[in-house]
Amino acid sequence: MEIGVLGTGLVGRTIGTKLFQLGHEVLLGSRDEANPKAIAWAKKLGGHHALYGNFRNAAAFGEIVFNCTLGAASLDALHQAGAENLKGKILIDVSNPFDYSTEQLSLTVCNTDSLGEQIQRAFPEARVVKTLNTMNFNLMVDPDKIPGRTNVFVSGNDLNAKGKVTMILRDWFGWKSIIDLGDITTSRGVEMYMILWVSLRRVFSEDERLNIKIMTS
Amino acid sequence: MEIGVLGTGLVGRTIGTKLFQLGHEVLLGSRDEANPKAIAWAKKLGGHHALYGNFRNAAAFGEIVFNCTLGAASLDALHQAGAENLKGKILIDVSNPFDYSTEQLSLTVCNTDSLGEQIQRAFPEARVVKTLNTMNFNLMVDPDKIPGRTNVFVSGNDLNAKGKVTMILRDWFGWKSIIDLGDITTSRGVEMYMILWVSLRRVFSEDERLNIKIMTS
């Protein structure tokens, strides 16, 4: 499959590499067409299946598009990608709306809205599925790094798109406990949880892999 | 020990009953001195160790005070209790700042502030410890209802108070995995997590007991 990945940070490169290893054609998109990290990534993987370009190139290329940009820059990146290149496509939103300008880490949007919802509103013809934002990048594509079947969540309005993303999480990335939280408004919960996650990361600083498991009686 | 419990809802009565069963003297406080739920509670337990009164009576009575009022009403309830009756005491804040007036459940405060912090600022001489707000009332005093040692969190500025609350959680209530998140600003994380918790409660509606377990590799 041809997949576009927006964002050349650790998240974008990790997901892009995993998809490449699974045999997909991946175009890593960034603000500037000639992003050094994207060029190095494509060179390292080699062949014709690891490509790079700008956000517009990545979105146009992908049958599925991952948003792995910084949350505070996501809407701008997606506008650069272009609504016409996202139309009808599954847009997997992995980002968190962290606001690094405040003294203590906070969110740019929360409580009565979320980044997932903002993206879905801004691109009504994209089929937005929020997922994978609740953990460290290296766990996203390798959940067995933590034993005990921890959870990943999906939020979105399009049931068909959520079904496809659930398949990707399970069959491609190896997730065994996937929880469908509901429509895109449930992005609020998974984004707001990240403030607790940041505290937990500080407590368990010796181990950057950390995730939650939902337990019931 | 003499303990004041503010709030006569399910949380207040459940914690009050547990403390009574452990042999403590408990005064359940409400807005009105003659709250029918508090009267019925005291009558049911009987004896001289289950008492009721107004918020001021409860705070004055307790060596330790639990805030089990609705989050949106907590500051008002605590002002009625009186700063002079909370001075120097451990104030265990169990409440969540849910805003029931919005179409979808949200918080009255979050992101750059929290109810835990608001209470600590309003009563600087109380030793506020935020805990137990992340689960259903019946799990608070009976964590083994869910197998597998799920987590409870503590947040607060006073290390001594947190140590005492940790003892209460462990030795009185039976918690085995208690995580100290840090100072009172970490209340933001546990309060904001509740929006995810509400979604999870909807997903696992057949079982109202639900909690998270932090997993690391």
- Tokens 């013809």 map to which residue? A125
Q: Where are the beta strands (DSSP E) in B33-107?
A: 50-54, 64-67, 90-93, 98-99, 106-107
Segment A161-168 shows an average pLDDT of: 98
- Between positions 120 and 159 of B, the ones with CB within 8 A of A are 145-148, 150, 153
Closest CB to B111 among A111, A148, A197: A111
Span B166-182, pLDDT tens digits:
999 999 999 999 999 99
Touching check for A181 and chain B: CB below 8 Å? Answer: yes
Distance from CA of A114 to the nearest CA of B (A): 12
Checking if the pLDDT of B206 tops 80, the result is no
Per-chain mean pLDDT for chain B: 96
Q: Please judge whether A111 and B180 are an interchain contact, meaning their C-beta atoms are less than 8 angstroms apart.
A: no
Residue A22 lies in a domain: yes
Give the rounded percent of residues in chain B with a pLDDT score beyond 70: 100
pLDDT value of position A52: 97
Query: How many other C-beta atoms can be found within 10 angstroms of the C-beta atom of residue B104?
Result: 12
Question: CA of B215, closest CA in chain A: separation in Å?
Answer: 5
Mean pLDDT calculated for residue range A4-32: 98
Whole-angstrom Cα distance, residue A62 to residue A64? 5
SS3 B129: strand
Question: Please, are residues A199 and B189 in contact by the beta-carbon 8 Å criterion?
Answer: yes
User: Does residue B142 lie in a domain region?
Assistant: yes
Burial of residue B122, with CB atoms counted within 10 A of its CB: 0-12 exposed, 13-18 middle, 19 or more buried:
middle
Asked whether residue A210 is assigned to any structural domain, the reply reads no
Are A104 and B203 in contact (CB < 8 Å)?
A: no
Please check the confidence at residue B208 and state whether its pLDDT lies above 80.
Answer: no
Tokens 């959940």, residue located:
A143
Q: How many CA atoms lie within 13 A of A35 on its CB side?
A: 22
Distance between A185 CA and the closest CA of chain B, angstroms? 9
Segment 183-212 of chain A within 8 Å of chain B by CB: 185-186, 188-190, 192-193, 195-200, 202-204, 207, 209-212
Checking if the pLDDT of A207 tops 90, the result is no
pTM for this model (two decimals): 0.97
User: Residue B172 gets which letter from DSSP?
Assistant: I
- Which residue among B146, B192, B202 sits closest to A216, beta carbon to beta carbon? B146
- Supply the CATH number for residue B63's domain: 3.40.50.720
Within a domain: A208: no
**Percent of chain B predicted with pLDDT > 90:** 94
Q: Give me the residue label for tokens 């940790």.
A: B166
Name which of B112, B190, B210 is nearest A106 (Cβ-Cβ). Answer: B112
Q: Evaluate if residue B107 carries a pLDDT over 80.
A: yes
B179, A213: Cβ pair inside 8 Å? no
Residue B211 lies in a domain: no
A interface mutation test: which of B193, B198, B202, B211 has the most A CBs within 10 A? B193
Residue A216 in domain: no
Nearest C-alpha neighbor of B82 from the set B12, B29, B26 = B29
Q: Find the domain containing B10 and state its range.
A: 2-203
Mean pLDDT of B185-191: 98
The ipTM assigned to this model is 0.97
Nearest to B196 among A147, A190, A199 (CB): A190
A44-99 pLDDT, tens digit per residue, is: 998 899 999 999 999 999 999 999 999 999 999 999 999 999 999 999 999 999 99
B70 touches chain A (CB under 8 A): no
Residue A206 has pLDDT above 80, yes or no: no
The residue in chain A having the minimum alpha-carbon distance to the alpha carbon of residue B180 is: A203
Contact call for B192 and A193, based on CB within 8 A: yes
Within 10 A of A73 (CB to CB), how many other CB atoms are there? 15
In a domain, A8, yes or no: yes
**How many domains, in total, are found in chain B?**
1
Render pLDDT for B19-77 as a digit per residue (tens, 0 to 9).
Answer: 999 999 999 999 999 899 999 999 999 889 999 999 999 999 999 999 999 999 999 99
User: What was the pLDDT predicted at A169?
Assistant: 98
CA–CA dist B68, B96 (Å, integer): 9
pLDDT at A208 over 80: no
In whole numbers, what is the pLDDT of chain A averaged over residues?
A: 96
For residues B30 and B215, give the distance between their C-alpha atoms in angstroms, rounded to a whole number: 39
User: What residues of A are in contact with residue B110 (Cβ under 8 Å)?
Assistant: 110-111, 192
pLDDT at site B217: 84
**In chain A, what residues touch B112 (CB-CB under 8 Å)?**
102, 104, 106
**Nearest Cα to Cα of residue A87 among A127, A54, A116:** A127
Kindly write down the DSSP assignment for every residue of A137-170, as one continuous string: HHHHT-GGGSSS--EEEEEES-HHHHHHHHHIII
Segment B69-87 mean pLDDT = 98
Confidence of residue B103 (pLDDT cuts 50, 70, 90): confident
- Collect all residues of chain B within an 8 Å Cβ-Cβ radius of residue A199: 181-182, 186, 189
